[in-house]
């Protein structure tokens, strides 16, 4: 439990945004069974309509997910001074409340890790030095499983769009793929609830994910919301045995806007802690990203110009969380 009566925590609390939100759950996000022969069609439809779907029958053992969750919680339960040895994030490592470097704040603490051992930053290396080997193994096993899930989903998606199966998956399968793993812990509010006056505290502010695809798994605690096409926020019912897969900005660009990079956020409105683990599948930094010619019909125009992932990522890191980063790609 977070001691919000502590002055420092109270000060932080009031620097974090709040919002009004209803507690009704939205059950309209499509569920896709990865072993279903129709999966490719359902995935494309869901990504066009919502930019997200729930993935079941994915073949990842619950034990593997629970194992990383347990290890992560063991890390987060350490005294603050121990956790701070693996931070601040540069951008990888341990972070608390500060998201990115441009002033965004959330009621969250997190670990951000690049999956490429060559890119392991000094702070993430320290993280593994100061924590049991079982943590590192849990991270490695989880990353391996997520890479497989990302590739299978991207292959089904490419198939569903009538493209070559490997057109997207080769980018995240590559050894130099710039993918990352984020573990977020949203502490419970407890006594903070009354002072918020019916408002919810923002755990992680609204944003789209810059990469190709994101695969999220959380414990059975609510909080995740997506922005529907009419601009309303819909609360996604949690399910600890499934994954929520969402389209990232690069996939929106490569499909010339056909698949939607969905705006989402997390509210910290519960009395129990929410823990989520998100794998962001990205291409190598030097990969050139542009709309695929076969998805731009003769009558249609290509909506975006070509950029490398490095250029886009650098621009994203200069932006605020809620900014529409896709404007960097738009043709002027
Ligand atoms: C959003 C998606 C991923 O969590 C992330 C985030 C990154 C960070 O937390 O360091 C960013 C954010 C995310 C987009 C804009 C920039 C960069 C914080 C921020 C303000 C790891 C990512 O790749 O982009």
Alpha helices in the chain (DSSP H): 7-15, 39-49, 62-76, 80-84, 122-130, 133-160, 166-173, 192-195, 249-254, 309-317
Whole-number percent of the chain with pLDDT over 90: 79
Q: Which of 93, 321, 324, 326 to mutate to test the pocket of ligand 1 (most atoms within 8 A of CB)?
A: 321
Three-state DSSP class for residue 3: coil
Average pLDDT over residues 150-178: 97
Both tokens of 121, joined, read 């930053």
Which are the contacts of 266, defined by CB distance < 8 A and separation ≥ 6? 106, 108, 184, 186, 202, 203, 204, 223, 224, 225, 274, 276
- Scored b (16 or more CB within 10 A) or e, 256-269 reads bbbbbbbbbbbbbb
Model pTM score: 0.95
Q: Which ligand 1 atom minimizes the distance to the CA of 207?
A: 1
Are the C-beta atoms of residues 65 and 55 closer than 8 Å to each other?
A: no
Q: Which ligand 1 atom minimizes the distance to the CA of 112?
A: 21
> Could you report the predicted ipTM of this complex, rounded to two decimals?
0.99
Q: How far is CA 179 from CA 11, 70, 255, in A?
A: 34, 23, 20
Confidence of residue 1 (pLDDT cuts 50, 70, 90): very low
Of 126, 185, 133, 160, nearest to 53 (Cα)?
A: 160
Half-sphere exposure of 280 (CA within 13 A, CB side): 21
Q: How many CB atoms lie within 10 A of CB 294?
A: 12
In DSSP terms, which residues pair with 281 in a beta bridge?
A: 213
Measured CA to CA, the distance from residue 173 to residue 190 in angstroms comes to 42
Q: Identify which has the larger pLDDT, 222 or 122.
A: 222
Which of 274, 310, 320, 325 is catalytic? The answer is 274
Q: Which residues, judged by CB distance below 6 Å to any ligand atom, belong to the binding site of ligand 1?
A: 91, 99-100, 102, 104, 112, 180, 182, 207, 209-210, 280, 316-317, 319-321
Measured CA to CA, the distance from residue 50 to residue 55 in angstroms comes to 14
Both tokens of 330, joined, read 């738009």
Residue 74 sits at φ, ψ, to 5 deg, of -60, -40
Q: Identify which has the larger pLDDT, 134 or 168.
A: 168
Confidence of residue 90 (pLDDT cuts 50, 70, 90): confident
Q: Cα torsion at 96, 221, 252, 182 (round to 10°)?
A: 40
pLDDT at 185: 98
Residue 5 DSSP symbol: T
Gyration radius of the chain's alpha carbons:
19
pLDDT at 2: 47
Confidence of residue 138 (pLDDT cuts 50, 70, 90): very high
Alpha carbon nearest to ligand 1 atom 17, residue: 317
Average pLDDT over residues 4-27: 79
pLDDT at 198 over 80: no
Task: Answer whether the bond into residue 15 is a cis peptide, omega within 30°.
Answer: no
Three-state DSSP class for residue 296: coil
Measured CA to CA, the distance from residue 5 to residue 214 in angstroms comes to 36
> Is 185 among the catalytic positions?
no
Of 179, 244, 247, nearest to 213 (Cα)?
A: 247
Both tokens of 316, joined, read 């994203």
- Ligand 1 centroid, distance to 182 Cα (angstroms): 10
Measured CA to CA, the distance from residue 211 to residue 205 in angstroms comes to 17
pLDDT at 13: 76
């Amino acid at each position: 439990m977070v001691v919000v009566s502590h002055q420092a925590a109270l000060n932080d609390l009031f620097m974090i945004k709040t919002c009004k939100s209803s507690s009704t759950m939205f059950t309209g996000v499509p569920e896709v069974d990865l072993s279903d022969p129709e999966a490719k069609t359902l995935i494309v439809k869901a990504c066009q309509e919502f930019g997200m779907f729930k993935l079941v029958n994915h073949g990842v053992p619950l034990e593997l997910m629970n194992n990383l969750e347990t290890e992560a919680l063991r890390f987060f339960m350490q005294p603050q001074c121990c956790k701070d040895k693996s931070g601040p994030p540069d951008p990888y490592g341990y972070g608390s409340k500060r998201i990115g470097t441009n002033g965004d704040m959330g009621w969250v603490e997190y670990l951000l890790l690049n999956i490429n051992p060559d890119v392991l930053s000094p702070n993430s290396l320290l993280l593994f030095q100061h924590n049991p080997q079982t943590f590192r193994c849990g991270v490695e096993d989880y990353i391996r499983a997520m890479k497989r899930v990302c590739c299978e989903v991207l292959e089904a998606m490419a198939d569903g769009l009538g493209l070559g199966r490997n057109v997207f998956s080769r980018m995240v399968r590559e050894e130099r793929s710039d993918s990352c793993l984020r573990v977020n812990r949203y502490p419970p509010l407890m006594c903070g609830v009354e002072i918020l006056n019916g408002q919810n505290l923002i755990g992680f502010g609204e944003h789209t994910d810059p990469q190709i695809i994101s695969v999220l798994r959380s414990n059975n605690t609510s909080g995740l919301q997506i922005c529907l096409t009419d601009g309303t926020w819909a609360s996604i019912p949690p399910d600890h045995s499934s994954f929520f897969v969402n389209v990232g900005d690069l996939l929106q660009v490569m499909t010339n806007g056909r698949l939607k990079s969905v705006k989402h956020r997390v509210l910290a409105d519960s009395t129990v802690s929410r823990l989520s683990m998100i794998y962001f599948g990205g291409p190598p930094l030097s990969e050139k990203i542009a709309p695929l010619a076969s998805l731009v019909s003769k009558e249609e125009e290509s909506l975006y110009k070509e950029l490398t992932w490095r250029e886009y990522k650098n621009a994203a890191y200069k932006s605020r969380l809620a900014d529409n980063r896709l404007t960097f790609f738009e043709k002027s």
